Chain A
Amino acid sequence: MNMKNEAGNTDLPAPVRQDSELVQVLDAEGNVLPQASVPDLSDRELLELYETIKLARHFDQRAISFQRQGRLATYAPMTGQEGSQVATSMALAEQDWLFPTYREHAAKYAHGMELASLFEPLRGYRDGYAIPEDVNVMPEYIPIATQVPQAMGMAWGHKLQGKTDTAVLCHLGDGATSEGDFHEGLNFAGVFDVPAVFVCNNNQWAISVPRERQTASETIATKAQAYGIDSVRVDGLDPLAVYKVTSEALEKARNPAPGELRPTLIESVQYRFGAHTTADDPSVYRDESEEEAWRDRDPVDRIEKYLYNEDILDSDLESEIQDRIEQAVSEAIETAEQTETSPDNIVEHVYDDVPARLEEQRDELNRLREKYDDGAFSEVLE
Chain B
Amino acid sequence: MSSTASTQSGQTVQRLALVEAIQDGLYTEMAQDDSVVVLGEDVGKNGGVFRATDQLYEEFGEDRVIDTPLAEAGIIGASIGLAQTGMKPVPEMQFMGFMYPAFDQIVSHAARLRSRSQGQYSVPMVIRAPYGGGIRAPEHHSESKEAFFVHEPGLKVVSPSTPYDAKGLLAASIHDPDPVIFLEPKLIYRAFREDVPTKPYAVSLSEAAVRREGNDISVYTWGAMTRPALIAAENLSQSHGIDAEVIDLRTLSPLDIETITDSFKKTGRAAIVHEAPKTGGLGAEIATTIQEEALVHQEAPIKRIAGFDAPMPLHSLEDYYLPQAVRIQDGIRETVDF
Contact = CB atoms under 8 A, between A and B. Distances in A.
Interface stretch (A79-87, A208-216, A263-271, A324-332): A208-216
Contacts of A284: 45-47
B23 to A, nearest CB: 15
Interface string B308-319: 111101111111
B47 A209 contact: no
B105 to A, nearest CB: 10
Contact of B327 (A143, A362, A368, A382): A368
Interface in A345-382: 345-347, 350, 355, 357-358, 361-362, 365, 368-369, 371-372, 376-379, 381-382
Interface stretch (B3-11, B94-102, B245-253): B94-102
B330 interface: yes
Interface stretch (A119-127, A191-199, A226-234, A296-304): A119-127
A346 B317 contact: yes
A279 interface: yes
A377 B321 CA distance: 9
Size class of the A contact interface (CB-based, 8 Å): 35 or more
Interface stretch (B24-32, B130-138, B149-157, B165-173): B130-138
Given A361-B308, A379-B326, A280 B49 contact: yes
Contacts of B42: 207-209
Size class of the B contact interface (CB-based, 8 Å): 35 or more
Contacts of B174: none
Interface in B288-302: none
Contacts of B319: 377-378, 381
Contacts of A307: none
Please indicate which of the listed interface residues A74, A355, A362 has the most CB atoms of chain B within 10 Å of its own CB: A74
B252 to A, nearest CB: 20
A206 interface: yes
B147 interface: no
B320 interface: yes
Interface stretch (B66-74, B79-87, B258-266): B66-74
Given A124-B136, A214-B69, A350 B314 contact: no
A176 interface: yes
A208 B67 CA distance: 9
Please indicate which of the listed interface residues A125, A143, A175 has the most CB atoms of chain B within 10 Å of its own CB: A143
Contacts of B145: none
Contacts of B224: 381
Contact of A341 (B72, B139, B278, B316): B316
B279 interface: yes
B224 to A, nearest CB: 7
A73 B135 CA distance: 10
A345 B137 contact: no
B324 A377 contact: yes
A208 B45 contact: yes
B322 interface: yes
A382 B191 contact: yes
Please indicate which of the listed interface residues B101, B311, B320 has the most CB atoms of chain A within 10 Å of its own CB: B320
A102 B314 CA distance: 14
B13 interface: no
B114 interface: no
B45 to A, nearest CB: 5
A144 interface: yes
A121 B314 CA distance: 7
Nearest to B323: A381
Given A74-B137, A372-B326, A143 B97 contact: yes
A8 interface: no
A176 B70 contact: yes
Given A346-B313, A357-B279, A214 B227 contact: no
Interface in B220-251: 224, 227-228
B140 interface: yes
A142 interface: yes
A285 B97 CA distance: 24
18 contacts: A74-B138, A124-B318, A142-B140, A143-B140, A179-B72, A181-B101, A209-B42, A209-B68, A213-B67, A345-B313, A350-B309, A358-B310, A361-B310, A362-B308, A365-B308, A377-B319, A377-B320, A377-B326
The 9 closest A-B pairs by CB, nearest first: A124-B316, A208-B46, A178-B69, A124-B315, A175-B70, A382-B191, A343-B320, A376-B326, A178-B71
Interface of B: 41-42, 44-47, 49, 67-74, 97-98, 100-101, 134, 136-141, 187-188, 191-192, 224, 227-228, 278-279, 308-311, 313-322, 324-327, 330
Given A179-B71, A361-B310, 15 more contacts: A121-B138, A124-B316, A142-B140, A143-B100, A180-B101, A209-B68, A213-B67, A284-B45, A285-B46, A343-B317, A346-B308, A346-B313, A346-B321, A358-B309, A381-B227
